[in-house]
Each structure stands twice: as C-alpha cells, then as structure tokens.
Amino acid sequence: MREFKRTDRVADQIQRELAQMIQQEIKDPRLDALVTVSGVKVSKDLGYADVYVTILGKEDKPQIIADNLHILQHAAGFMRSQLGQRIKLRVMPQLRFHYDETLVRGRHLSSLIDQAVQADQSRQQDDQA
C-alpha cells in the first residue's frame, strides 16, 4: 500500500504553488498581504480543490475576511490557469476558497483551558487557606 494518495500529493503541490502565487502574482491592492494558504483538499476525481486560507491579524473582522475570499474567488480562474502551466495534470481542479477557522478555534480553546487552570489554582489556594 502506498503511503501517500495521489490526491494528497496534488493537494500539497497546489498548496505550495498557490501560496507563492497569492504572495507574488495577485496584484489586487484590496487583497490583504497576510493571506496564507493553510491547506488544500482535492476531491477524489480531481474536479475540485477546496483551498483553506487564513488572514493573520484579521480573525475578528468578518467583512475583511469575506472581501478577501471574494477577491480570491474572483482570481480563481487566473490562478487555475497558472497552476495548469506549473503542474502537469490532465484536468486542473476548480478552486473553491474557504476561510480556515482552526486558528480562531485553537485560540478560543486555549483561552478556555487557561481560564480553567486559573480557576482550579485559585480553588486549591482557597482550600489550603
């Protein structure tokens, strides 16, 4: 059995190429400079690639996130054609952009854990007093 599926290898290559493309070739001034590609999932038939992006420092600004996703989706055709030149595939997947909320969720869970630890420590101090 192979260690990596073909779709995983294609997804990794698309992620690398898109990350570079967004930073260097997308010239839309409205696009936030801190857009990063955090992951790509390619469908089994290579028909679609779901591209997950984060926008560092803008996690609490839903309008900026929506605007950036709109800009990326608008540029998807250009990026797909560029990917077609860089990656040798018979069919290049359609690109669908999504906001990756894992950073926001991770920070929220981390703060909940910190609050629980602090509450536990204060209870222990109250019990010792």
Total domain count for the chain?
1
* pTM of the predicted structure, to 2 decimals: 0.76
Within a 10 A sphere around the Cβ of 33, how many other Cβ atoms?
10
Res 3: pLDDT: 57
Q: Report residue 93 as tokens.
A: 């997947």
* 110 located within any domain: no
pLDDT computed for residue 75 by the predictor:
93
Inform me whether the pLDDT recorded for 70 exceeds 70. Answer: yes
Q: Which residue has the higher pLDDT, 2 or 114?
A: 114
Is there a domain that residue 92 lies in? Answer: yes
Residue 118 lies in a domain: no
Structural domain contains residue 75: yes
Distance CA 76, CA 112 (A): 37
Q: Which residues, 6+ apart, have CB-to-CB distance to 69 below 8 Å?
A: 53, 97, 98, 99
